Amino acid sequence: MAQDPVIIVGAGHAGFQLAASLRQHSFEGGITLISDEAVLPYQRPPLSKEYLDGKIGLDLLLMRPEAFYRDHRIDYLPGTGVSEIDRVGKTVRLASGERVGYGHLVLATGARNRVPALPGIELDGVAYLRTLAETDLLRDRLAAANNVVVIGAGFIGLEFAAVARGSGKSVHIVELTERAMGRVVSVPSSRFFAEAHRRTGVEFSFGAQAARVAGRNGRVDHVELAGGARLPADLVLVSIGVVPNGELAAAAGLAVANGIVANEELLTADVNISAIGDCAAFPSRHAAGQPTRLEAVQNAADHARCVADRIVGKPHPYGALPWFWSEQGKLRLQIAGLTTGHDQTVVRGTVESGEFSVFCYKAGALLGVESVNRPADHAHARRLLAAGRAVAPEEAADMSFDLRAAATAKAA
C-alpha cells in the first residue's frame, strides 16, 4: 500500500506539504500534484501583505523553484482541474478527460471566495483576494484607485485596508457585525485593531450592510448601504469569507458539511481518500472533538504531515495545536489555540501600550491566547496549550508571573 501512487488534488499549502513530506519520509511511489491554478505552488499569506505591497516578488512567494518537483519526482500538473472521482475504479478524471489512477487520493482543494448576491457585484472594479491572479489584478487596480471600499472586516479585509491606506488611498470598511474580526478574536483585540486602523485614517461602518454596488459605464462608482448611505468607490474589495471546495467529494458520495468530513486521522468514509487543509472538517481535540474547519497555514501543513505519516505506515490521530497570525500594517497578531466560545478574557500587559496578550477562558479553562506585538507570549502560550498546562486568570494578568517558566516546566 505504501508504494501505491498518491494523487493530491490542490497544490496550496496542504497539497504541497503533503508531496514534500512524503518524499522526506522516503516514500517511493508516484506522486501527482494537481492544481487548477496555472503557476507553481505558492504561499498565500504574503498576497495580502508584502506581495500586495510590492515588497516581495513572485520568486519569494513560490514554495519551491521548479527544479524541486523534478528532483523529488513530484509530477506537478498546473492549470489542470480534477472534475470527477471514480471511487470504484480508483481514478480521477482531469478536465481534459484523461483518467489517472490512484492508490490513495488526497483532497486538498481549499476554499474559494464567498460572493454575495448583491446587485452590481459583477461590475468592473469589484475585486477579491484569494489567488495570485486576483492579487495581481488587485494590485494594478489599487495603484489607480482613489476611494476604496472593503466589504467585510475579517483578517484579509483588514490586511488589505492597511496596505491600501499605507499607499495613501481613502479606505472605508463596511462590516455587518458590530466589531472587527468578530468571528475569530476577543473583544479587547477587536477594539484595539479597529482603533489602530482608525488612527491611520481608515473609516468603519459597523452593523452596516452593503445593499448594492452601483456603477457608471460598467465600472463601480459607489457602494450603497442598507440605510441608503452611499460610499464613493472606484475599487471594492469583497472579503466576506470563503466557501470550502467540497463539490468534488460530494459528487463522489462523500459527506460534506462545512467541509469534507474526515475522521481524527483525516480519512474520509472511503479508506482510500483523505481530506486536508481548508477543505476538511475534522474532529479537533482542541474543540472538544467537535467538527472543525480551520483556515490557516499551520493547519494545512500539519494536516499534510499527519497524512504523510499514515501513508508511510505510521498512522496517528491529528492533534496539533492550532495557531494563526495576521499582519496589519505594523501590528502583528498571533493566536494560539481556538478561542471560540470563551466566557472570560484576561489582558496581560496593557492594550494602550499596543503590546499585550488576551488570555481567553471557558469555565476557567484556558482555550487560547491572542498576542499583539508580544511574540514571546505567543511562543509560551503555544507550549502551555499544547501540553494542556493550566494558567489561572490571575496568574495570566500578573506581569510578575513567569509565563516562560510555566511553559517550560516539566510535567509533575
Q: Which residues bind ligand FAD (CB under 6 A)?
A: 9-15, 34-37, 44-45, 47-48, 81-82, 108-111, 129-130, 156, 245, 248, 277-279, 295-298, 300, 324-326
Q: What phi and psi, each to the nearest 5 degrees, are found at residue 32? A: -115, 120
Pseudo-torsion of CA 74, 79, 84, 85, nearest 10°? Answer: 10
Name which of 125 and 246 has its Cβ closer to ligand FAD.
246
The distance of closest approach from Cβ of residue 232 to ligand FAD in the complex, given in angstroms and rounded to an integer, is 25
Query: CA-to-CA distance for 207 and 216, rounded, in angstroms?
Result: 27
The distance of closest approach from Cβ of residue 402 to ligand FAD in the complex, given in angstroms and rounded to an integer, is 29
Decide: 185 and 325 in contact? Cβ < 8 Å.
no
Q: From edge to edge, which strands make up the β-sheet containing 291-292?
A: 260-261, 280-283, 291-292
The distance of closest approach from Cβ of residue 319 to ligand FAD in the complex, given in angstroms and rounded to an integer, is 18
DSSP at 7: E
Name which of 134 and 395 has its Cβ closer to ligand FAD.
134
Name which of 123 and 156 has its Cβ closer to ligand FAD.
156
Name which of 83 and 209 has its Cβ closer to ligand FAD.
83
The distance of closest approach from Cβ of residue 341 to ligand FAD in the complex, given in angstroms and rounded to an integer, is 21
Name which of 21 and 224 has its Cβ closer to ligand FAD.
21
Query: CA-to-CA distance for 61 and 45, rounded, in angstroms?
Result: 9
Name which of 304 and 360 has its Cβ closer to ligand FAD.
304
Cell 492550532 maps to which residue? 322
The distance of closest approach from Cβ of residue 297 to ligand FAD in the complex, given in angstroms and rounded to an integer, is 4
The distance of closest approach from Cβ of residue 12 to ligand FAD in the complex, given in angstroms and rounded to an integer, is 2
Name which of 41 and 125 has its Cβ closer to ligand FAD.
41
Dump the DSSP string for 118-168: -TTTTSBTEE--SSHHHHHHHHHHHHH-SEEEEE--SHHHHHHHHHHHHTT
The distance of closest approach from Cβ of residue 221 to ligand FAD in the complex, given in angstroms and rounded to an integer, is 26
Name which of 151 and 297 has its Cβ closer to ligand FAD.
297
At position 347, the amino acid (one-letter code) is: V
Number of H helices, E strands in the chain: 11, 26
Closest listed residue to residue 369, CA positions, set 181, 154, 155, 189: 189
Cell 466566557 maps to which residue? 343
* Coil, helix or strand at residue 277: helix
The distance of closest approach from Cβ of residue 129 to ligand FAD in the complex, given in angstroms and rounded to an integer, is 5
Dump the DSSP string for 62-106: BSS-HHHHHHTTEEEETT--EEEEETTTTEEEETTS-EEE-SEEE
